[in-house]
Structure 1
Amino acid sequence: MNVVVVESPAKAKTLNKYLGRGYEVLASFGHVRDLPPKDGSVDPNADFQMVWEIDGKAQKRLADIARAVKGADKLILATDPDREGEAISWHLLEVLKQKRALSDGQPIERVVFNAITKQAVTEAMKNPRRIDQALVDAYLARRALDYLVGFTLSPVLWRKLPGARSAGRVQSVALRLVCDRELEIEKFVTQEYWSLVATLATPRGDSFQARLVGADGKRITRLDIGSGAEAEAFKQALEQARYTVATVDARPTKRHPQPPFTTSTLQQEASRKLGFAPAHTMRVAQRLYEGIDIGGDTVGLITYMRTDGVQIAPEGIASIRSVVKSDYGDRYLPSAPRQYQTKAKNAQEAHEAIRPTDMTRRPREIARYLDADQARLYELIYLRALSSQMESAELERTTVDIAAQAGGRALELRATGSVVTFDGFLAVYQEGRDEDPDDEESRRLPQMSAGEALKKLALDATQHFTEPPPRYSEASLVKRMEELGIGRPSTYASILQVLKDRNYVRLDKRRLVPEDRGRIVVAFLESFFSRYVEYDFTADLEEQLDRVSNNEIVWHELLRRFWTDFTGAVDSIKDLKISEVIDALDAMLAPHLFPPRPDGTDPRQCTTCGTGRLSLKLGRYGAFLGCSNYPECRYTRPFSVPGADGAAEAENRVLGQDPETGLDVTLRVGRFGPYIQLGEANGGDKPKRAGLPRGTDPAAVDLDMALGLLSLPREVGKHPEDGEPILAGIGRFGAYVQHGKTYANLEAGDEVLTIGLNRAVTLLAEKLAKGPRGKRFGGDPGRPLGDHPTLGGTIVVKAGRYGPYVSHDGVNATLPKDKTPETITLAEAVDLLAARAEKTGGAPKRKAPAKKAAAPKAAKAKNAEAEDTAKPAKKAAAKKTPAKKTPAKKTAAKGTAKKPAATKPRAKKEPAQAE
């Protein structure tokens, strides 16, 4: 019996069918061990020896693999064909050696296949190799670098920046890209400009548009007409002008197809065309790669989805060309196959591009076996691969220059357009764009000839304003990282996810917006660790790691060079006080935080007290700006730049006077957002304040609305059943109505000022109908999704106290943010449950056994004890865990440095995350 080890159960299931008798295929469920999240897991003083710890959830799986290997004829490691796959095979082999599961002379083979098809697997089994130690060394170097940066830099960050979280080697550079773009937007100065467009007609009556591009022998560029007066002068001249065609230039041109997908381009196109987040794209692609049940046969539909390569194997090209010929004819088939070369900086191992494993499985035929997202992504991959071997599109681009004579002035206009004379690959696929392209080129112009007179139909002078560069979308950020050589295809999705999880960035209208916390972290790193967030430095480090994978340099030497400089930079700021760090950040961010005021006054002057100066402050909830006269003056302002994104004005805005008290009602901006205030602080008494309802535009707030908010909570009316008052107000969770102890949320925040009695009674009744929270969630029977394909039993999706989740046989898995109970599919639910089972070792949650009733005498004491200890119970259990050192020692790799018991506080687990 031959034992084959792969990563996932889905892959194991597919291979079991292909290999048949004589093979036992087992799954490791990904990595089986990692560096313990504590100081000392990588020891720079012992030539970077690494202590590995077996994942507790992997113990049983490793025991099963070890038992199977002991009686096996051969061990075949068939993990994924990239660095991570090579590392998993290496880890498995090291663990099996420690367990003494391998006998002397027992054959050990490493096989890789780019597609999970019977042909690819059979061919791979015929051509085994050894584990590629150079790839393993590159993995070890990368893992050590990420660990050392995380566990060295993050504690400094926590001590110097209250409220900050950890810093990663590559995430920090990606975050800097987002913050630098935001700074560009904030510094951008809008410029006015005008365009003049004439609508003209040929003698045959065909109309078209032409733009003013020159006057009196000088070219007019986009920004040259900067005022309405200039535009009006040109318009008057054009009104009186005679128009003649000067030249007509029609040139044939071609547009060539794009290469098939790499990991990066797949994530970009799926984001632009399908709206998928990169992480979701990779999850769906993983399922397509590992295999889909088609008519009782599990088939891998696409090749491996983590790749930099754009080339396709000869048999793949032949298959694509065959489909092009049969479906579209010889006219659409190039005479010779197209060959592509990667342009990505630091391209990784030479894997094939992402393509369908069998081009005869057309999207429309295979869709019935896939869920909606799988079908859409498969179609995208299929059409891109198909178009890559099709003929170029042929176009004719026409440029018409028009002379306009007005008195003694000579004006020039230009009309451009194009027409597709042969669609070629455009019949199948056209690449998406982040921004709307200028459609002037796509206009088709009427037939014209030089010297022909034209008739003016209309003239338009249009005012425009220049716009700042757009924020990065997830797709454009991935593209930019790839251009700079930052990160790797397999890490892009996780990098973006980590930035969102740490609340360093947020998604707004599919654009990445840096949070204040993220901007402060970047400013700190640029101030004190500038080299380590430089784009060129990070890209150069990636090149060095590639040289390790090519067996050109020794990974220990790479780490030694890095560590010497890095520790020096960390030591240089260890003794800095927090106040010194804040002062440095305040000075660095001054142009961003305190832009010049229109009236020329000091931008740091406090407008509340008039004598204090504003400066950067750090609190437990993040950064804000405060007055130097605190606590006498309590003026604060958010860290964000005033006016950005249509935010409220930075300075206090007087809305009017309260008719009852005569006090000023002002709209202010505080640390937690805009709010309304009545009057000023008087001694120790705080003035009355009211927050704005969620989603309210501060610019739209007037005196009436402000007075209404200050009057909250207000009585809507008496409940018709018991005559008790129903109140409307705003709480920490938004606007609400209240009757007794029953609260119901309002759908729109501004409804709190206008809601009537009937609507309030209806909302409260609906809330009561749902029942108490515990009963409502605990008793939800859920919506059946279908039977589990391998384990049997129904999988259901339910509403939980902490959000929707899927459940099967006692295993519960929370839905990700991009999924809802209405959109989750059976296949996705199976994946989520498998991942959850892996984390919990496959064990469903069990209810604690019911305790016997206490004796009457002790009942009161037991109840009191339960009341006192119920909440701290979890913390007490957690404290016991670090005390156990023996498991780490038992599973430590042979020959690694043994560390004494750590006396330092344990570092947080978070920084150990890869890239």
Structure 2
Amino acid sequence: MHVVVVESPAKAKTINKYLGKDYVVLASYGHIRDLPPKDGSVRPDEGFAMDWEIDAKSEKHVKDITQALKSADGLLLATDPDREGEAISWHVRDVLEKRKALVGKQVQRITFNAITRSAVEEALRNPRDLDTPLVEAYLARRALDYLVGFTLSPVLWRKLPGSRSAGRVQSVALRLICEREQEVERFVSREYWTVDAILASPQGQIFRARLSQLDGQKLDKFGLPDETTALAALERIKAATLRVESVERKQARRNPAAPFTTSTIQQEASRKLYFSARQTMQVAQKLYEGVDLGGETVGLITYMRTDGVSIAPEAVFATRDLIGAEFGAAYLPEQPRVYKTKAKNAQEAHEAIRPTDVARTPQSVAPYLTAEQRKLYELVWKRTVASQMASAILDQVAVDIADPEAKVVLHATGSVIQFDGFLKVYREDFDDRPESSPDGAGEDENRLLPPLREGDGVKREDVKADQHFTQPPPRYTEASLVKRMEELGIGRPSTYASILSVLQDREYVRLDARRFIPEDRGRLVTAFLENFFSRYVQYSFTADLENQLDEISDGKLGWKTVLERFWMDFKAAIEGTATLRVSEVLDALDKELGPHLFPQAEDGHDPRVCPVCSAGRLGLRIGKFGAFVGCSNYPDCKFTRPLVTKEGEGGDGAALAEDGTKPLGKDPVSGEDVTLRKGPYGLYVQKGEAAPVEKGKKAVKPPRVSIPKDMDAATIDLDIALKLLSLPRPVGDHPETGTMISAGIGRFGPYIKHGDIYKSLPKDDDVLTIGLNRAVSLLAEAGKGGRARQPARSLGDHPADTKPVTIHDGRFGPYVQHGGVRATIPRTADPATYTLAEAVELIAAKAAKDGDGKKAPAKKAATKAPVKKAAAEKKAPAKTATKKAAPKKAADSAEDAPAKAPRKSKAKPASADPD
């Protein structure tokens, strides 16, 4: 008997069906250990020794594997066929060896590019040893990311309060976004004109031509710079007698794109499906690990982390057979198409991403897939089929039309698809074209010109001049940013999704209309790194380091050699900032970000002049909440302007003082001061001040309420503040129940309440003004599947103690409960189909993480002890009670969430995330 270890339970479930009783398939649930997030986990002075830590959840899975090995002959490591998969296998083997679980056991590594019966059986026939260079490349990358994150981030926190962290590749990706934003801001729009004529052929067919030459001069984009010249050219066309001067015809062939790689599937899913990079990889993972197709679990696509573009010969032949049968011989090229990767070192590449069986058409598997899975599978299937189809053939025609002296020349083009070829199945999208392109770029290919011959006269139907303005370079989308990072050699495709997520999670950037816009916090970090750690955010340096990591994986370079070279220079750069003063940092950033923070005013006045005292100058300052703009005359002038804010958390008009407050007026009833304030959790309004605390009594907080995220703090005056402080307010009686509907602001934002049903208000609804009809409508939506909480239901009795296991709809989402243990259901799981077995496993993992899974006894319990035990309790040492007290645990489920986050927290260094 052999134990087979894979990463995920879904993969284990699928493979288990292919193997016989001589195999036990277990999941490691990803990496079983990692570097502890603390100083000293990587020690350069000890040959880059690393400390690894197994968390409680992974410990359970390791014990399961260890137990299974006791009666097994050997271990088969069947994790994913890439660097991370090799690393997971190495971790599993290393831990098991240290626990003496592999004594006398044969350990082998097997890989397969698709989870199908034939692929798994082929892998079993061809086992191998662990790939040492691939493991060393992982170790080097992990050490680099840790050293950068845990060495550079503290410098950032000390010199630039309010910053989150810096990462080796994350910071370079952020620089790309910030530099593009600077290009947009510096862009000066330029006016230009075009003149188009609507003409009719001798047969009366209408077509359009554009003025291209005037008086022997070819007109470039700015050939007609203003309205005067454009209208003059228009009159010249109206006065001219026009005929066809030349007709040029040619045929063009368009070839299909290669099958998907990790990078291209992320780009195309972003363009066509509006999927984020992370969403694309999550859905692809499900398709790869297996889907139940009416009783048979099958992996539908090959491994989705690859930079290869070739596909297996048998898959090529199967695709060609399908093309011939479905589309006809005309769509089948004489020879199979062969694609080659452009990657310098495709060490993670196997096959491209393709269907495991092209005969499984999107229509045939659609009933078994979710909407997201169906869309992505269809994209993969069509791209694969198209990659082996015949080229598209286009007939292109270019016509010049002129007056007899050729002083006025117009140009017209037409293109018609003569044979659609692969376009019958698939067209690639590009989303970085200007939205309005006056030269016709992006128009449909079927733009047909009428039959025209040289010398034909044409009739002028209309002439018009159009004004245009040049557009700034487009901001990056996820697709275009991934493409640009790949072009520069920054990071690797398998890490792009996590890099983009980290930038958003740390609020360095935001997505607006699917375009990345850097937050001021992100611009500050980028400016700091460019000024004081320039080398480490250079594109060439980062790309060169990636190439060195690839050489390690290829066995051409020692991993510790790479680390030593990097650490020697990086350590010196860090030590060079020891004497760096915060004032020096502020001066450098103020100079760098000045054009952004203080843009030139339209009326010509100095944007740095303080608007309050008029004598001081505005500049970058640092406070306990991070960077802000303040007056140089502080403390005489207390004008400040927030710099780093979330949407709705104040803005330039909030003008909070240095102490984080802004007076709004007095309550006309109580006479107390009403103020706008900034606390650790955002902006809020408060009435009055906290009263002095008497000894032995609790402090009484004054009335206060948080500012909704969608409310502009600059618009908050005394009237609005008093309305906010009066919440919750009655909206009206529900027409069906007669029960009052109220509106208020809670821990999670604005809401309406009707009985026990709560409904969060959408972004466009105002908690202060929402009316009864709108409230009833929103509550009706909640009843149809919104966030109205559903009743609990039983999944069955727990096999260990026959107590019920129940599933609940919590404030943060669904969770399962057994006794006092609650565990949040993963977002990828469907609560409606969640099984008892899955719930039991989830609860066990939660219990293992929290110790024995029991909550600490309430403090009141001690006072309820019987009187006769009091003497014995007095004799017990005081430290016994504290020693046995259950540690305060983090909230894992919706119902465990604390009311407030800890006041003091440190940002997690970037090294905790890939790259």
User: Per-residue CA shift, 1:752-800, capped at 9, x if unaligned?
Assistant: 78667x6699799999999xx9xx85xx316999999xxx999998653
Partner of 2:449: 445
2:24 counterpart SS class: strand
User: Per-residue CA shift, 1:282-302, capped at 9, x if unaligned?
Assistant: 111111111112232221111
Are 1:471 and 2:480 an aligned pair? no
Residues 198, 210 of structure 1: 8 Å contact kept:
yes
Partner of 2:250: 251
1:439 counterpart SS class: coil
Partner of 1:302: 301
Task: Give the 5 Å matches for 1:757-836.
Answer: 780-781=790-791, 799-801=809-811, 803-805=812-814, 807=816, 812-813=823-824
2:458 counterpart SS class: strand
Task: Give the 5 Å matches for 1:18-37.
Answer: 18-37=18-37
Amino acid at match of 2:791: P
Residues 34, 54 of structure 2: 8 Å contact kept:
yes
Structure 1 residue 527 displacement after superposition: 0.9
Q: Of the candidates 412, 417, 421, which is equivalent to residue 420 of structure 1?
A: 417
Closer, same or farther in 2 for the Cα pair 1:213/1:734, shift >3 Å?
Answer: farther
Structure 1 residue 56 displacement after superposition: 2.2
Closer, same or farther in 2 for the Cα pair 1:914/1:737, shift >3 Å?
Answer: closer
Q: Of the candidates 576, 580, 603, which is equivalent to residue 580 of structure 2?
A: 576
Partner of 1:901: none
Structure 1 residue 244 displacement after superposition: 1.5
Are 1:131 and 2:141 an aligned pair? no
1:25 counterpart SS class: strand
Residues 182, 513 of structure 1: 8 Å contact kept:
yes
Residues 654, 713 of structure 2: 8 Å contact kept:
no
Residues 345, 550 of structure 2: 8 Å contact kept:
yes
Residues 147, 911 of structure 1: 8 Å contact kept:
yes
CA distance in structure 1 between the partners assigned to 2:27 and 2:266 by the alignment: 27
2:556 counterpart SS class: coil
Are 1:98 and 2:107 an aligned pair? no
Matched pairs, number: 830
Partner of 2:562: 558
Task: Give the 5 Å matches for 1:854-869.
Answer: 854-855=863-864
User: Per-residue CA shift, 1:666-686, capped at 9, x if unaligned?
Assistant: xx9x999xx9x9xxxxxxxxx
Structure 1 residue 815 displacement after superposition: 6.7
Are 1:615 and 2:619 an aligned pair? yes
CA distance in structure 2 between the partners assigned to 1:276 and 1:829 by the alignment: 32
Amino acid at match of 2:108: E
Are 1:209 and 2:213 an aligned pair? no
CA distance in structure 2 between the partners assigned to 1:384 and 1:350 by the alignment: 18
CA distance in structure 1 between the partners assigned to 2:493 and 2:274 by the alignment: 19
Percent identity, please. 53
Structure 1 residue 708 displacement after superposition: 7.6
CA distance in structure 1 between the partners assigned to 2:523 and 2:213 by the alignment: 44
Residues 309, 350 of structure 1: 8 Å contact kept:
yes
Amino acid at match of 2:569: D
Partner of 1:84: 84
| Segment of structure 1 superposing worse, 248-257 or 839-848 | 839-848
Closer, same or farther in 2 for the Cα pair 1:830/1:216, shift >3 Å?
Answer: farther
Amino acid at match of 2:522: G
Partner of 1:107: 106
Amino acid at match of 1:813: T
Structure 1 residue 71 displacement after superposition: 3.0
Residues 366, 374 of structure 2: 8 Å contact kept:
yes
Task: Give the 5 Å matches for 1:221-300.
Answer: 221-300=220-299
CA distance in structure 2 between the partners assigned to 1:434 and 1:649 by the alignment: 36
TM-score, scaled relative to structure 2: 0.80
Structure 1 residue 410 displacement after superposition: 1.5
Structure 1 residue 633 displacement after superposition: 3.0
Partner of 2:693: none
Residues 2, 24 of structure 2: 8 Å contact kept:
yes
Partner of 2:541: 537
User: Per-residue CA shift, 1:79-110, capped at 9, x if unaligned?
Assistant: 11001111111111111110111224x32211
2:233 counterpart SS class: helix
Residues 694, 749 of structure 1: 8 Å contact kept:
no
Structure 1 residue 589 displacement after superposition: 1.7
User: What are structure 1's unaligned runs of at least 5 residues?
Assistant: 642-646, 653-657, 659-667, 678-689, 862-872, 882-904
User: Per-residue CA shift, 1:412-459, capped at 9, x if unaligned?
Assistant: 211112110001001111112214652175422111111111111122
2:212 counterpart SS class: strand
Task: Give the 5 Å matches for 1:367-406.
Answer: 367-404=366-403
Closer, same or farther in 2 for the Cα pair 1:793/1:201, shift >3 Å?
Answer: farther
CA distance in structure 2 between the partners assigned to 1:53 and 1:614 by the alignment: 49
User: Per-residue CA shift, 1:558-614, capped at 9, x if unaligned?
Assistant: 100000000010000122122221111111222332333344443322233221111
Q: Of the candidates 407, 412, 423, which is equivalent to residue 410 of structure 1?
A: 407
CA distance in structure 2 between the partners assigned to 1:793 and 1:422 by the alignment: 68
1:490 counterpart SS class: helix
CA distance in structure 1 between the partners assigned to 2:37 and 2:348 by the alignment: 30
Closer, same or farther in 2 for the Cα pair 1:765/1:781, shift >3 Å?
Answer: closer
Closer, same or farther in 2 for the Cα pair 1:367/1:811, shift >3 Å?
Answer: farther
Structure 1 residue 264 displacement after superposition: 0.7
Partner of 2:514: 510
CA distance in structure 2 between the partners assigned to 1:260 and 1:767 by the alignment: 42
Residues 744, 767 of structure 1: 8 Å contact kept:
no
Amino acid at match of 1:585: L
Are 1:4 and 2:23 an aligned pair? no
Partner of 1:40: 40
Residues 714, 728 of structure 1: 8 Å contact kept:
no
Partner of 1:341: 340
Structure 1 residue 805 displacement after superposition: 3.1
User: Per-residue CA shift, 1:631-667, capped at 9, x if unaligned?
Assistant: 43343345489xxxxx989999xxxxx9xxxxxxxxx
User: Per-residue CA shift, 1:874-914, capped at 9, x if unaligned?
Assistant: 9x976999xxxxxxxxxxxxxxxxxxxxxxx9995663333
Residues 732, 741 of structure 2: 8 Å contact kept:
no
Structure 1 residue 620 displacement after superposition: 4.0
CA distance in structure 2 between the partners assigned to 1:648 and 1:370 by the alignment: 48
User: Per-residue CA shift, 1:151-203, capped at 9, x if unaligned?
Assistant: 11111111111111111111111111111111111111111222211111112
Report the RMSD for the aligned CA atoms in angstroms: 4.8
Residues 608, 619 of structure 2: 8 Å contact kept:
yes
CA distance in structure 2 between the partners assigned to 1:595 and 1:254 by the alignment: 49
Amino acid at match of 1:635: F
Amino acid at match of 2:371: A
1:120 counterpart SS class: helix
Structure 1 residue 335 displacement after superposition: 0.4
CA distance in structure 2 between the partners assigned to 1:786 and 1:190 by the alignment: 67
Structure 1 residue 856 displacement after superposition: 10
CA distance in structure 1 between the partners assigned to 2:763 and 2:527 by the alignment: 37
Residues 276, 478 of structure 2: 8 Å contact kept:
yes
Q: Of the candidates 612, 635, 639, which is equivalent to residue 635 of structure 1?
A: 639
1:242 counterpart SS class: coil
User: Per-residue CA shift, 1:109-161, capped at 9, x if unaligned?
Assistant: 11111111111111111111111101011011001101111111111111111
CA distance in structure 2 between the partners assigned to 1:308 and 1:767 by the alignment: 45
CA distance in structure 2 between the partners assigned to 1:737 and 1:107 by the alignment: 63
2:303 counterpart SS class: coil
Closer, same or farther in 2 for the Cα pair 1:815/1:197, shift >3 Å?
Answer: farther
Amino acid at match of 1:242: T
1:208 counterpart SS class: strand
Structure 1 residue 479 displacement after superposition: 1.1
Amino acid at match of 2:189: T
CA distance in structure 2 between the partners assigned to 1:142 and 1:195 by the alignment: 53
Amino acid at match of 2:334: S
CA distance in structure 1 between the partners assigned to 2:837 and 2:395 by the alignment: 52
TM-score, scaled relative to structure 1: 0.80
User: What are structure 2's unaligned runs of at least 5 residues?
Assistant: 434-440, 646-650, 657-664, 666-675, 686-704, 734-739, 871-881, 891-904
Task: Give the 5 Å matches for 1:43-192.
Answer: 43-104=43-104, 106-192=105-191
